[in-house]
């Protein structure tokens, strides 16, 4: 029988108080919530003696603040409702797992298969609430895809003496067998198999139940049929079809970027992205800093003579739409593995994030099913879940998160975008060999490390290659377990790597073992895997499920046979599960067996190169010009305040403060800058702690100076989705320029910047969308080459569409605006030269570098004006355009000024233009500014609002000490720069207009309020 340990707070519990406030915020009109009590419950599914149980409970409860009960609920004297929330069977339960480990350790007796501890949270609520209110609370506090809720009235709970015991043990009725799939069928049937997946069984009424989409189109299915009929002369197994579905998925093979588009026969990726990098490397000659690009889990550039810096950005959009918390945790922890899986294993040294949401205050009515069934989570739920997920994943992993952004647009309501990125550090050489080169060798053992395999994540790769519809499988989401990963990350990167215990390592991400081992097997041209050896979370998985499961926190390694014992023993000492599951061969075949029967036996060549190339065509869309008569502003103070309140402008410090940005001790420019702590667009890290000059036997006496490794890295990102509907070419150019400019602003060398591209597109079956994509890729080539900034890694996510129904069951399709996120990684030779954005001293001079043009299309200002007029953004016509040659010249001069320490502060002008840069400079420094718009350099602008809010590219705002004025102005001679005002001690922002009148005069206190308050309650 299972035992139930309940832990109660014996002193007021802050979590319960916060929960109560949260419940009160749901606003039950005529009801009230007087008190909320929170109980942590552990359901122990293992036979324990009374003494063992008592000891177990005593180590789970803190005697200073908690009491406990065993198999006997201590009901509060007064309460009206009880709600208990727990995980569904099979969902990762980290708290339960930790309790399991602690108790096994305590009683010195392991848990056997099937024995486990499950955690739940129980709320006792006092208040006059109805069942429907309780249901609402339960629904708001849980997610039905991964959790179950159970509620009782106080009376019922008393009658039953508590909530009762539920053991969410996984029981799988199915037999673990392999099916043969008949693919020698009509095209129509073949197409069905590719789209819906393999038929699992039939419902009693004869309706087929599918296993989940293979996401293989008809041409792909026909190639498969052809291969099996001609080469293998047999039908494929389910495991083989699933393997191909994973390996050939859009997610893994990027079929749209690889396919032939119009006259671009080598595809967008090779023709524009990769070619840009090749050309940049060639142009740079000896100055080339790329070391490993596009071939590994991350890209890498040279940092100094001893180290490489790796970089990778990923998206986790579809899982985050279904389960924002789990999707985001597994997103961030997953991209960490792209670092650990780079070369022989890099150490993760920084995470960054980028979130695109709909306004969390909005309540769009979107349903995946008809008749208001299967509703989309609200923008608020998605935002809160995603933010909390990256918090959990990043913080638990001990990786700083020094940079990130959140961007809002109504069209992200159906599909949020969750960009996560990890930067890594690895020595150039490991055991005398180049660390970025790795190769499995014939005979090497295949070793899987980390978490066990369950049904979670099955069909993740194919799922993200499809639009989000009601058929989306719940198994596509999983809860992350960052500590399991942290354990093996440390064991691999800090120990096994430098002992030379393995030849190769890679991530088990999308497609699970089928992808990782299939990929590594190319090194030796073959593999032999025994699925019976794979450790499972619970029995009953079919072979194909074990092979493609995306259970998280796992990696695969190629370990030479003579190091296997040493490797496994090291992992076990670090409490990391490590199992030999097969070996690499040179048979040319991918062979996977289960109980001595081959369930996959295919040519590796076919597996990797059999996929037919897509042939795509695109069209260009003429954008009709929009009549734009923007009313002339009469109250600039109010306008300025309104703009600072915009979600795309205001502070997102509620996120920054909950992500550890200082762990590892490497921070140099932090996400919140200046005394006023405003959000910065770029951060600086010093990846290597200063070298220790003193040897341990010669202690240092007192503070001393030494020649430290002062080199730093700057991280930033930029995106301009609102420009996309007008012109994706210039959208991409602005994103590239923005990402570069942000790191230049903090002091990065413009000639040592690497980029990454993350395309999040929509409706790729629509030739017009492909046309937009092509134009964006053209700009990627043109501007990466012009700026000399190579792409070192990239990723695309093509299906960011929501297809479902609105509140009156009308079909609705909501597509994201085509979004290109450009991430930048810059090098600073000396972090003490880094420039923060905050004004430093009264009397300093304020300059704008660059030219301001009448380019208002897609601007935040036009969005504001439109929303004020008619509730939706104005689009405008002309988006900002980038002149790379003059921009690069400006950035190089800026860098020279940085090196001569002439700049007291610097900030790139981005969304919201000059106004936002002024706001941040002033609030950051807690100093006033006095600005004269007449001094601005501009083209075709006679309006003050345009001068303030135009988003023209390649501009920066700096402050300069008066004594540096001459030197500074001399450096920029012949380029666009203008001294527009000065920093003042009075805490106010004063702006004089084109007619010489003061148009803006606002106290900083008022700006602080408007800038910090909009998202302060999240």
Q: Which of residues 69-108 bind another protein (CB under 8 A)?
A: 94-95, 97-99, 101-102, 105-106
DSSP structure class, residue 816: P
Strand partners, 261: 264, 616
Q: Which residue has the tokens 């030494």?
A: 706
Among 92, 339, 618, 667, binds another protein (CB under 8 A): 667
The smaller minimum CB distance to another protein, of residues 186 and 697, is found at: 697
346 binds another protein (CB under 8 A): no
- Contacting another protein within 353-392 (CB under 8 A): 391
The region of 369-377, 394-402, 779-787, 1000-1008 touching another protein under the rule CB under 8 A is 394-402
Site for another protein in 41-60 (CB under 8 A): 59-60
CA distance 941 to 897: 29
Q: How far is the CB of 400 from another protein (least distance, A)?
A: 9
Q: Please report, as residue ranges, which positions from 890 to 909 form the binding site for another protein (by CB under 8 A).
A: 901, 904
Decide: is 660 part of the binding site for another protein (CB under 8 A).
yes
Decide if 837 contacts 921 (C-beta within 8 A).
yes
| Interface pick for another protein out of 285, 665, 811, 974 (rule CB under 8 A) | 665
| 20 is a contact residue toward another protein (CB under 8 A) | no
Rounded Cα distance, 939 and 719, in Å: 24
Q: Do the Cβ atoms of 912 and 648 come closer than 8 Å?
A: yes
Query: Which position among 151, 422, 664, 735 is part of the footprint of another protein (CB under 8 A)?
Result: 664
**Piece of the chain touching another protein by CB under 8 A; list 253-261, 354-362, 577-585, 651-659:** 651-659
Which C-beta is closer to another protein: that of 20 or that of 563?
20
Shortest Å, Cβ 157 to another protein: 25
Position 1016 contacts another protein (CB under 8 A): no
Stretch that binds another protein, among 147-155, 664-672, 950-958, 984-992 (CB under 8 A): 664-672
Based on CB atoms, which residue is closest to another protein, 942 or 1017?
1017
Q: Is residue 250 packed enough to be buried (19+ CB in 10 Å), middle (13-18) or exposed (0-12)?
A: buried
Q: Which helix (H) or strand (E) holds 503?
A: none
Q: Considering the complex, state which of residue 34 and residue 694 has its C-beta at the smaller distance from another protein.
A: 694
- Cβ count near 139 (within 10 Å): 13
CA 261 to chain CA centroid, Å, is 29
Question: In the complex with another protein, which residue's Cβ is closer, 494 or 868?
Answer: 494
Q: Return the C-alpha torsion angle 763, 768, 771, 777, nearest 10.
A: -30
Q: Measuring CA to CA, which residue among 776, 768, 770, 766 is closest to residue 728?
A: 776
Cβ atoms < 10 Å from Cβ of 626: 13
Under the criterion CB under 8 A, does residue 930 sit at the interface with another protein?
Answer: no
Q: Which stretch binds another protein (CB under 8 A): 170-178, 530-538, 685-693, 1005-1013?
A: 685-693
Q: How far is the CB of 821 from another protein (least distance, A)?
A: 24
Which residues ranging from 932 to 991 are in contact with another protein (CB under 8 A)?
Answer: 961
Q: What is the DSSP string of 598-652?
A: EEEEEEHHHHHH-SPPPEE-----PPPP----PPPPS-HHHHHHHHHHSTTTS--
Please give the Cα distance from 569 to 493 (Å, whole number).
16
Q: What long-range pairs does 254-260 form, CB within 8 A, spacing at least 24? A: 254/796, 255/611, 255/614, 256/614, 256/616, 256/764, 256/770, 256/773, 256/796, 256/798, 257/759, 257/796, 258/613, 258/614, 259/613, 259/614, 259/615, 259/616, 260/613, 260/614, 260/615, 260/616
Least distance from C-beta 982 to another protein, angstroms? 15
Of residues 910-929, which lie at the interface with another protein (CB under 8 A)? 925
CB closer to another protein, 73 vs 97: 97
64 binds another protein per the rule CB under 8 A: yes
String of contacts with another protein for each residue 199-228, x by CB under 8 A = ------------------------------
12-17: which pairs have CB atoms within 8 A and are 24 or more residues apart?
13/37, 13/38, 13/65
Minimum Å gap between C-beta 747 and another protein is: 10
CA-CA distance, 196 to 222, in Å (whole number)? 16
Shortest Cβ 633–another protein spacing (Å):
35
Residue from the set 674, 721, 771, 858 that interacts with another protein by CB under 8 A: 674
Question: Considering the complex, what minimum distance in angstroms separates the CB of residue 260 from another protein?
Answer: 47
Under the binding rule (CB under 8 A), the answer on residue 838 touching another protein is yes
- Residues 470-489 binding another protein (CB under 8 A) are 481-483, 486-487
Of the candidate spans 143-151, 439-447, 498-506, 837-845, the one that interacts with another protein by CB under 8 A turns out to be 837-845
Joined tokens for residue 81:
């409702």
Half-sphere exposure (CA, 13 Å, Cβ side) for 392?
Answer: 21
The distance of closest approach from Cβ of residue 557 to another protein in the complex, given in angstroms and rounded to an integer, is: 20
Q: Which of 346, 492, 668, 798 binds another protein (CB under 8 A)?
A: 668
Give the Cβ contact number of residue 866 at 10 Å.
Answer: 18
Q: What is the DSSP string of 448-482?
A: EEESPB-STTTTHHHHTTS-B-TT--GGG-----H
Contact 69, 41 (CB under 8 A): no
Q: How far is 590 from 240, CA to CA, in rounded Å? A: 10
The reply on whether position 397 binds another protein by CB under 8 A is yes
Beta carbon nearer to another protein, 347 or 421: 347
Indicate which single residue of 619, 832, 998, 1013 sits in contact with another protein (rule: CB under 8 A): 832
Given 18, 34, 807, 1016, the residue binding another protein (CB under 8 A): 18
What is the C-alpha to C-alpha distance for residues 598 and 582, in angstroms, rounded to an integer? 13
Name residues contacting another protein, limited to 841-860 (CB under 8 A): 841
Q: Does 39 bind another protein (CB under 8 A)?
A: no
**Applying CB under 8 A, what is the total number of residues that bind another protein?**
82
Which residue's CB is nearer to another protein, number 9 or number 785?
Answer: 9
Q: What is the spatial distance between Cα 521 and Cα 525, in angstroms, rounded to a whole number?
A: 5
Q: Are the beta carbons of 391 and 338 closer than 8 angstroms? A: no
Using the rule CB under 8 A, give the single segment among 177-185, 280-288, 701-709, 889-897 that binds another protein: 701-709
DSSP state of 272: I
Query: Which of 89, 375, 612, 708 touches another protein by CB under 8 A?
Result: 708
3-state secondary structure of 561: helix
């Amino acid at each position: 029988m299972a035992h139930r340990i309940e832990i109660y707070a014996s002193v007021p519990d802050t979590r319960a108080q916060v929960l109560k406030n949260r419940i009160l915020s749901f606003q039950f009109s005529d009801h009230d919530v007087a008190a909320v009590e929170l109980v942590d419950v552990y359901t122990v599914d293992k036979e324990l003696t009374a003494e063992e149980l008592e000891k177990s409970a005593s180590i789970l409860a803190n005697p200073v603040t908690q009491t406990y009960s065993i198999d006997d609920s201590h009901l509060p004297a007064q309460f009206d409702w009880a709600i208990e929330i727990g995980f569904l069977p099979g969902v990762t339960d980290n708290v339960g797992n930790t309790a399991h480990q602690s108790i096994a350790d305590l009683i010195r007796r392991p848990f056997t298969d099937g024995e486990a501890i499950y955690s739940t949270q129980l709320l006792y609520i006092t208040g006059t609430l109805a069942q429907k209110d309780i249901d609402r609370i339960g629904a708001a506090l849980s997610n039905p895809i991964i959790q179950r809720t159970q509620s009782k009235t106080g009376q019922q709970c008393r009658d039953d003496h508590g909530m009762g015991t539920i053991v969410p043990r996984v029981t799988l009725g199915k037999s673990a067998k392999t099916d043969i799939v008949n693919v020698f069928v009509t095209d129509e049937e073949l197409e069905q198999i590719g789209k819906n997946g393999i038929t699992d069984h039939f419902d009693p009424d004869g309706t087929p139940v599918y296993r989940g989409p293979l996401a293989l189109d008809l041409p792909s299915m026909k190639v498969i049929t052809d291969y099996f009929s001609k080469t293998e002369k047999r039908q494929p197994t389910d495991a083989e079809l699933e393997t191909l579905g994973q390996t050939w998925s859009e997610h893994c093979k990027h079929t749209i970027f690889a396919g032939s588009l119009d006259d671009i026969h080598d595809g967008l990726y090779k023709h524009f992205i990769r070619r840009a990098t090749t050309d940049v490397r060639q142009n740079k000659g000896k100055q080339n800093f790329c070391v490993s690009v596009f071939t590994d889990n991350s890209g890498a550039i040279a940092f100094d003579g001893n180290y490489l810096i790796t970089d990778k950005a990923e998206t986790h959009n579809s899982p985050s739409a279904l389960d924002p918390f789990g999707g985001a945790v597994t997103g961030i922890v997953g991209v960490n593995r792209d670092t650990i899986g780079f070369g022989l294993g890099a150490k993760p040294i920084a995470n960054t994030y980028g979130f695109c949401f709909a306004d969390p205050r909005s309540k769009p009515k979107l349903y995946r099913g008809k008749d208001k069934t299967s509703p989309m989570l609200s923008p608020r739920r998605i935002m809160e879940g995603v933010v909390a997920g990256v918090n959990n994943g990043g913080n638990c992993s001990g990786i700083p998160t020094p940079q990130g952004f959140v961007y809002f647009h109504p069209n992200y309501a159906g599909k949020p975008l969750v960009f996560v990125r990890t930067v890594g550090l690895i020595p150039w050489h490991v055991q005398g060999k180049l660390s970025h080169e790795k190769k499995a060798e014939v005979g090497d053992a295949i070793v899987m490390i980390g978490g066990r395999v369950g049904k979670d994540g099955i069909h993740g790769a194919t799922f993200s290659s499809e639009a989000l519809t009601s058929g989306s499988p719940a198994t596509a989401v999983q809860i992350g377990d960052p500590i399991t990963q942290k354990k093996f990350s440390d064991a691999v990167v800090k120990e096994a790597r430098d002992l030379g215990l393995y030849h190769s390592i890679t991530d088990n991400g999308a497609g699970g073992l089928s992808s990782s081992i299939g990929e590594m097997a190319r090194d030796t041209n073959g593999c032999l895997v025994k699925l019976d050896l794979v450790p499972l979370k619970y029995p009953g998985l079919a072979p194909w499920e074990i092979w493609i499961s995306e259970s998280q926190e796992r990696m695969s390694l190629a370990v030479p046979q003579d190091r296997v014992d040493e490797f496994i023993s090291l992992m076990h000492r670090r409490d990391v599960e490590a199992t030999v599951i097969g070996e690499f061969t040179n048979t040319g075949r991918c062979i996977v067996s289960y109980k001595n029967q081959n369930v996959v036996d295919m040519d590796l060549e076919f597996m990797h190169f059999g996929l037919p190339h897509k042939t795509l065509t695109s069209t260009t869309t003429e954008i009709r010009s929009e009549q734009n008569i923007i009313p002339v502003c009469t109250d600039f103070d109010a306008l300025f305040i309104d703009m600072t309140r915009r979600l795309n402008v205001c502070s997102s410090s509620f996120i920054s403060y909950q992500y550890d940005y200082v762990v590892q001790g490497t921070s140099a420019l932090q996400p919140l800058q200046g005394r006023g702590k405003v959000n910065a667009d770029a951060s600086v890290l010093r990846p290597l702690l200063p070298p220790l000059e003193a040897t341990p036997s010669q202690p240092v006496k007192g503070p001393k100076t030494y020649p430290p490794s002062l080199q730093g890295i700057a991280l930033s990102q930029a995106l301009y989705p609102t420009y996309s509907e007008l012109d994706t070419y210039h959208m991409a150019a602005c994103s590239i320029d923005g990402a570069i400019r942000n790191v230049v602003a903090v002091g990065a060398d413009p000639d040592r910047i690497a980029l990454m591209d993350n395309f999040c597109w929509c409706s790729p079956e629509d030739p017009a969308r492909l046309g937009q994509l092509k134009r964006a890729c053209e700009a990627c080539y043109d501007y990466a080459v012009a700026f000399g900034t190579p792409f070192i890694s990239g990723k695309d996510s093509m299906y960011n569409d929501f297809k479902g129904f609105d509140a009156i069951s009308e079909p609705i399709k909501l597509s994201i605006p085509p979004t290109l996120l450009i991430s930048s990684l810059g090098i600073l030779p000396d972090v003490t030269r880094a420039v923060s954005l905050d004004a430093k001293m009264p009397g300093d001079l304020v300059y704008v570098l660059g030219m301001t043009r009448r380019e208002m299309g897609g601007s935040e200002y036009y969005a504001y004006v439109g929303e004020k007029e008619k509730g939706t953004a104005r689009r405008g016509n002309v988006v900002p355009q980038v002149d790379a040659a003059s921009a690069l010249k400006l950035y190089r001069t800026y860098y020279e000024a940085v090196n001569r320490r002439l700049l007291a502060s610097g900030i790139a002008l981005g969304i919201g233009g000059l106004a936002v840069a002024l706001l941040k400079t002033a609030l950051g420094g807690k100093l006033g500014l006095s600005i004269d718009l007449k001094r601005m350099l501009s083209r075709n602008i006679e309006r003050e609002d345009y001068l303030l809010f135009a988003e023209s590219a390649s501009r920066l705002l700096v402050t300069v000490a008066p004594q540096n004025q001459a030197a500074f102005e001399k450096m920029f001679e012949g380029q666009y720069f203008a001294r527009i005002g000065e920093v003042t001690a009075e805490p106010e922002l004063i702006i004089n207009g084109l007619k010489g009148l003061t148009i803006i005069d606002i106290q900083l206190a008022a700006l602080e309020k408007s800038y910090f308050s909009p998202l302060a309650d999240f």
